[in-house]
């Protein structure tokens, strides 16, 4: 497919002040909130809009630290291109096909990925949408994404350094929103889902994958400090992983698992009328399981039994 040339696409009208949701005006490289009582200013870093609040809540703060460290170029790490190829081979088609079951991409589609990292998915979707928007709280990840998109001659993107709990996006802007294992890292998940609902257009969809609370999350997921979002289990897991183990195993930061019925209810409360929850089919490696035969057994269980499904997808349609 040919590369869409959208240079000159003005993205300022869809942005707002993340704090007061007021309009922004541009002055040089600076964005200024027009609300009299707010007047906050936001700077650009290259092509990245910096809307990150000075203070980040402890749950997201823990995750941010881990991810910034993860994305800093390190010797011996695979290059962006190599990682992008792996993503294309192993994940892209699967994610793309599952999203399209709920809403088709088209020339006018505004796509938003929350927790976009270095924009692997958005890059792969850039020729299928009008605009790909990525929001992440890791500047290192966004810088990588920006460099690669520019190198590829892709310009129909908008990169936001910010907090998904307070997005600098006006309401009714987004057609398709995707979060691959993101909202479970925010302690106040219900408020986050409300924020996702806010930015969607009528008819827009929010597609998120989250860890499933089941036998799997109570056993193998404990290896990396998962917190079951269920009374008592939550308090026990928080005590063990945060207080006792000092987050040592929480390689992805704060991470919840959810019952399908619970995450569905959170979406309904946020305003979504139609909500679908199902297994999220994904390529399973289970590298942390020590023996090959045992690994095969776990993969079999995870693929076939809801008791062991690692991830569920939750799709909300805004009416
Ligand atoms: Zn403001």
Determine the distance separating the centroid of ligand 1 and the alpha carbon of 35, expressed in angstroms. Answer: 6
| pLDDT of the residue at 126 | 96
How many angstroms separate the Cα of 19 from the Cα of each of 6, 95, 302?
29, 32, 41
Determine the distance separating the centroid of ligand 1 and the alpha carbon of 37, expressed in angstroms. Answer: 8
Determine the distance separating the centroid of ligand 1 and the alpha carbon of 39, expressed in angstroms. Answer: 6
Residues less than 5 Å from ion ligand 1, measured at CB: 17, 19-20, 22, 33, 35, 38, 40
pTM of the predicted model as reported, rounded to 2 decimal places: 0.84
Determine the distance separating the centroid of ligand 1 and the alpha carbon of 160, expressed in angstroms. Answer: 16
Is 260 strand, coil or helix?
A: helix
Determine the distance separating the centroid of ligand 1 and the alpha carbon of 24, expressed in angstroms. Answer: 8
| Each residue's pLDDT expressed in tens, for the chain with a length of 319 residues | 444 444 568 899 999 999 999 999 999 889 999 999 999 999 999 999 999 977 666 556 666 666 777 776 555 567 788 889 999 998 899 999 999 999 999 999 999 999 999 999 999 999 999 999 999 999 999 999 999 999 999 999 999 999 999 999 999 999 999 999 899 888 899 999 999 999 999 999 999 999 888 777 666 666 666 777 777 677 776 767 776 666 666 655 667 888 899 999 999 999 999 999 998 877 766 676 777 877 787 778 777 878 778 788 999 999 9
Q: Which residues does 186 contact at the CB level (< 8 Å), separation at least 6?
A: 59, 60, 164, 165, 192, 254
Determine the distance separating the centroid of ligand 1 and the alpha carbon of 29, expressed in angstroms. Answer: 17
**DSSP state for residue 212 in the 8-state scheme:** B
Determine the distance separating the centroid of ligand 1 and the alpha carbon of 36, expressed in angstroms. Answer: 8
Determine the distance separating the centroid of ligand 1 and the alpha carbon of 23, expressed in angstroms. Answer: 8
Is residue 299 within a helix (H) or strand (E), and if so which, with residue range? helix 292-304
Report all structural domains of the chain as residue ranges with CATH numbers, in order of start: 44-317 (3.40.50.150)
| pLDDT of the residue at 3 | 43
293: tokens are 């035969």
């Amino acid at each position: 497919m040919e590369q869409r040339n959208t240079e000159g696409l003005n993205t300022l009208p869809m942005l707002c002040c993340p704090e007061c949701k007021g309009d922004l005006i541009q002055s040089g490289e600076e964005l200024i909130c027009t609300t009299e009582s707010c007047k906050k200013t936001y700077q650009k870093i290259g092509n990245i809009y910096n809307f990150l609040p000075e203070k980040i809540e402890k749950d997201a703060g823990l995750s941010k630290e881990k991810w910034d460290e993860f994305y800093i170029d390190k010797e011996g790490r695979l290059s962006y291109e190599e990682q992008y190829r792996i993503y294309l081979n192993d994940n892209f088609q699967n994610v793309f096909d599952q999203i399209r079951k709920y809403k088709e991409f088209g020339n006018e589609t505004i796509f938003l990925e929350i927790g976009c990292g270095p924009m692997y998915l958005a890059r792969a979707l850039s020729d299928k949408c009008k605009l790909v928007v990525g929001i992440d709280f890791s500047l290192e990840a966004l810088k990588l994404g920006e460099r690669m998109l520019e190198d590829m001659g892709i310009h129909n993107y908008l990169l936001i350094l910010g907090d998904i709990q307070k997005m600098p996006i006006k309401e009714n802007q987004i057609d398709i929103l995707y979060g691959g294992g993101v909202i479970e890292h925010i302690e106040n998940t219900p408020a986050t889902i409300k924020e996702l609902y806010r930015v969607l257009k009528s008819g827009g969809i929010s597609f998120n994958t989250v860890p499933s609370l089941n036998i799997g999350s109570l056993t193998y997921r404990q290896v990396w400090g998962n917190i079951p979002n269920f009374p008592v289990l939550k308090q026990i897991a928080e005590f063990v992983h945060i207080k006792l183990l000092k987050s040592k195993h929480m390689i992805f930061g704060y991470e919840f698992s959810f019952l399908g019925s619970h995450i569905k209810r959170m979406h309904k409360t946020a305003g979504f009328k139609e909500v679908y929850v199902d297994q999220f089919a994904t390529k399973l490696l289970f590298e942390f399981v020590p023996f090959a035969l045992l690994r095969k057994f776990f993969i079999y269980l995870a693929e076939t039994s809801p008791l062991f499904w690692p991830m569920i997808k939750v799709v909300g349609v805004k009416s």
